């Protein structure tokens, strides 16, 4: 990693190691701070104060006369907005649409790239380097492991991470799957998975578990064909 380049942008930047591929294809990530970054989703090319207010008061599905007071109660937050930075984020999002994934949240942005050079190009287009908070990249020699969809861990408690597909599942079936997983000695059920399986609703998303025995994958697939999304092998750094 070219630490000097990143430190020249922001002397307080943090460096992290990539432990798994991001979004199934990227090894590098840049994290930036930008107040009201979500307004960069808006179609207005100028990203004006008017746009910012419109974006904020229409974020909810609710309506009514409370909207203007709601806006004014957040005036402090929306006064300190770097519009040049927001415009540069919008430009990056459009210019690198095919090579860089941009994830925008309320006050932060993450850029994901396949190489450090691509991430540097993104950083150079930001209106200020002060917004760069952290850069994540692979340790030398781990690129091939990461590209083969493995997860790197300092120590191995479970050999596999199994991701289940988002979707709608029969509620009694979800309880049956939970009972099955809880009965297996070589399975670690995450809090998120347990919560999703216990909820009295069909929807389930963003869930996974760890195991040392892939036989459980076969049993789950028999109960609900297609439920298993990805299986990542966990390896030691």
- CA dihedral (56, 60, 66, 69) in degrees, to 10, reads -20
For the chain, the average pLDDT equals 85
* The two three-digit tokens of residue 105, written as one number: 């949240």
Each residue of 160-170: pLDDT tens digit? 999 999 999 99
Each residue of 107-118: pLDDT tens digit? 889 999 999 999
* The two three-digit tokens of residue 210, written as one number: 């760890």
CA 206 → CA 27, 170, 172, 194, distances in Å?
A: 21, 17, 20, 12
Q: Could you tell me the residue ranges of all domains in the chain? A: 3-140, 151-236
- Identify which has the larger pLDDT, 174 or 78: 174
Q: Which residue has the tokens 């402090």?
A: 76
Q: Which of 51-55, 78-82, 105-109, 175-179 has the lowest mean pLDDT?
A: 51-55
Return the top range by mean pLDDT from 4-13, 58-67, 69-78.
4-13
Task: Give the confidence band of 67 by pLDDT, cuts at 50, 70, 90.
Answer: very low
Looking at residue 57, its pLDDT comes to: 47
User: Which residues, in sequence order, are bridge partners of residue 230?
Assistant: 163
Each residue of 85-103: pLDDT tens digit? 888 998 898 899 999 999 9
Task: Give the confidence band of 54 by pLDDT, cuts at 50, 70, 90.
Answer: low
Q: CA 135, CA 118: separation in Å to the nearest integer?
A: 13
Q: CA 207, CA 105: separation in Å to the nearest integer?
A: 21
CA 167 → CA 80, 140, 192, 206, 224, distances in Å?
A: 40, 37, 15, 10, 11
Looking at residue 49, its pLDDT comes to: 54
Looking at residue 135, its pLDDT comes to: 96
Contact 11, 133 (CB under 8 A): no
Helix (H) or strand (E) holding 35, with range, is none
Looking at residue 202, its pLDDT comes to: 94
Averaged pLDDT for residues 150-156: 87
- Identify which has the larger pLDDT, 12 or 236: 12
Residue 71 has pLDDT above 50, yes or no: no
Looking at residue 35, its pLDDT comes to: 82
- The domain defined by 151-236 folds into Alpha-Beta Plaits (3.30.70)
Residue 72 has pLDDT above 60, yes or no: no
- HSE-CB at 11 with a 13 A cutoff on CA atoms is 0
Each residue of 211-229: pLDDT tens digit? 999 999 999 999 999 999 9
Averaged pLDDT for residues 188-206: 94
Q: CA 29, CA 116: separation in Å to the nearest integer?
A: 9
């Amino acid at each position: 990693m070219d630490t000097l380049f990143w430190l020249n942008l922001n002397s307080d930047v943090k460096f992290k190691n990539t432990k798994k591929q991001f979004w199934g294809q990227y090894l590098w990530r840049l994290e930036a701070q930008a107040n009201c970054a979500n307004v960069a989703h808006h179609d207005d090319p100028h990203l004006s104060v008017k746009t910012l207010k419109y974006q904020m008061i229409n974020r909810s599905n609710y309506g009514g006369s409370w909207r203007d007071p709601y806006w004014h109660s957040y005036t402090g937050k929306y006064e300190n907005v770097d519009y040049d930075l927001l415009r540069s984020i919008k430009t990056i999002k459009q210019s690198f649409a095919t090579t860089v994934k941009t994830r925008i949240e309320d006050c932060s942005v993450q850029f994901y790239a396949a190489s450090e050079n691509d991430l540097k190009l993104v950083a150079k287009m930001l209106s200020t380097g002060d917004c760069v908070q952290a850069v994540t990249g692979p340790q030398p020699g781990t690129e091939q492991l990461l590209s083969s969809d493995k997860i790197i861990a300092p120590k191995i408690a479970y050999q596999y991470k199994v991701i289940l597909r988002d979707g709608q599942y029969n509620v009694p079936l979800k309880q049956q799957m939970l009972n099955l997983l809880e009965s297996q000695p070589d399975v670690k059920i995450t809090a998120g998975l347990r919560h999703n399986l216990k909820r009295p609703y069909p929807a389930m998303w963003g869930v996974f578990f760890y195991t040392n025995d892939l036989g459980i994958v076969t049993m789950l697939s028999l109960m609900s064909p297609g439920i298993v999304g990805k299986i990542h092998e966990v390896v030691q750094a």
